[in-house]
Structure 1
């Protein structure tokens, strides 16, 4: 499973430095070829493939699908799971992630809000992963955009941004046009608004839209459990 809403195996492997661009280009869709290059093992490739599948499922479930078509000519993921993935497990894991995000005090959508560093934040006092997120929050990037820039999964980046908002390290940008997307997205931009004190905006319950997909997933899980 892959999605333009989440970084794929190529992004994660090239970012890690374990695979060069030349090795990836010569061995795409060729797991033995990447292993033979000597910089990455079969177990590591399986972990990366699993992480990418989980993140892609979350990216799809957290967004919206307005239309779809069956593309029989697709080659599938560039680095598919060697043993595949159980659909029930993938649905449960996706539901768990959506539930965890929705339970945070200030959950955000991976696609809607854009972010800026909060005033007077000292980046040097933050952990490296947070410094990287903060450095790329320019008021035009969504959580999904930042995930691509820092080459990390869309789920952990969205979770971290939600926590940083709660801790006062970031704020939601107002009336700043987003950057042109690096890849197609299905969710429409929706900027938040700051109140007169410069605090986080007051939103209606469920304003991030994250919890909206949980009933669909749970219904699908119940349906699958009753099928022979």
Structure 2
């Protein structure tokens, strides 16, 4: 399938690619979906820290070991396998971190509203195969995240705009994670930049930032970095893939981190 056969939106294009069991990379201005036989194997987005930032920033993998894995296996697109085989990372930890980064980036990448997406047949991510996730599962998870964030605080510009503390607002007793995130709000950093600074995943960071906004402590500046993730249309009676239960358990574990 070439870009001339794609739909106008990322969401519709993903559905077509999944139906065709396509392999390659679907790119928009907000991210890139990598697919293999119609399943999503990885997602990159400039609005979400990548796996390397999360692993090295948190100390799960030291920076030297990460760069060595990139040099030794990046060209062969098997960096994930190299991390496991070299003993730098357990296979279960890689899968957990990979899924977290995938779903975080997909939340933003699905919201692309600019130029039509482009598809590069056969393109693969340098990380290599870790786990493939059905397109419907990725879309449902992004919808669930959007809905939860809307319940906490209904202003989506917090997801992409530089954030500022509300002057003279009393912070009171905040949970440790929320206090650490609030300390990074400086009128310049976006949610993604705060997450990268703290080596935290984007979605839990967004949850805490929206809670801070609901408490009257944080607001978005007018200098947004781009449109907020677009609303996903309702989905009627989705069918459950065989791995849905496993993904739900992984999701719960990721949100508990």
- Above 0.5 in TM-score? yes
Once the two structures are TM-superposed, the CA of residue 11 in structure 1 deviates from its matched residue by 0.9
CA distance in 2, matches of 1:115, 1:103: 20
Secondary structure class of the residue paired with 2:47: coil
Counterpart in 2 of 1:14?
A: 56
**CA distance, structure 2, for counterparts of residue 71 and residue 4 of structure 1:** 19
Deviation of 1:12 after TM superposition, in Å, equals 0.9
Asked whether the 8 Å contact 1:106–1:166 carries over to 2, the reply is no
Would the alpha carbon gap of residues 111 and 101 (structure 1) be closer, same or farther in structure 2, given more than 3 Å must change?
closer
How many residues align structurally?
A: 189
Shift of 1:130: 1.6
Q: Deviations over 1:74-122 (max 9, x none)?
A: 441x435523112221111111111112223443335543322233457
Q: Report if the CA contact (8 A) 1:109-1:158 is conserved.
A: no
Deviates more, 1:155-164 or 1:81-90: 81-90
Residue in structure 1 matched with residue 135 of structure 2 by the alignment: 87
Are the counterparts in 1 of residues 163 and 185 from structure 2 also a CA contact under 8 Å?
yes
With over 3 angstroms needed to count, the CA separation of the structure-2 counterparts of 1:9 and 1:112, relative to structure 1, is closer
CA RMSD of aligned residues (A): 2.9
Taking structure 1 as the reference length, what is the TM-score of the superposition? 0.69
Bigger mean CA offset, 148-157 vs 159-168 = 148-157
**Residues 1:2 and 2:44 aligned together:** yes
Aligned to 1:136: 184
Q: CA deviation at 1:46?
A: 0.4
Q: Which residue of 1 aligns with 2:106?
A: 57
Q: Secondary structure at the match of 1:213?
A: coil
Measured after TM superposition, the shift of residue 9 of structure 1 is 1.0
Structure 1 runs of 4+ off > 6 angstroms?
A: none
Task: Tell me the CA shift for residue 73 of structure 1.
Answer: 7.2
TM-score of the pair, normalised by structure 2: 0.62
Which whole-Å CA distance do the structure 2 matches of 1:40 and 1:79 have between them?
13
Deviations 1:149-199 (A, max 9, x none): 22222222222111101112223335xx67xxxxxx7x25xxxxxxxxxxx
Residues 113 and 33 (structure 1), Cα distance of their counterparts in 2 relative to 1, 3 Å cut: closer
Match of 1:181 in 2: none
Contact 1:123-1:134 within 8 A present in 2 as well: no
Per the alignment, in what secondary structure is the counterpart of residue 31 of structure 1? Answer: helix
The 3 A distance-change label for structure 1 pair 86 and 140 is: same
Report what 1:213 is aligned to: 231
Mind listing any 5+ residue stretches in structure 1 that lack a counterpart?
Answer: 179-184, 189-208, 223-228
The CA distance in 1 between the partners of 2:81 and 2:140, in whole Å, is 31
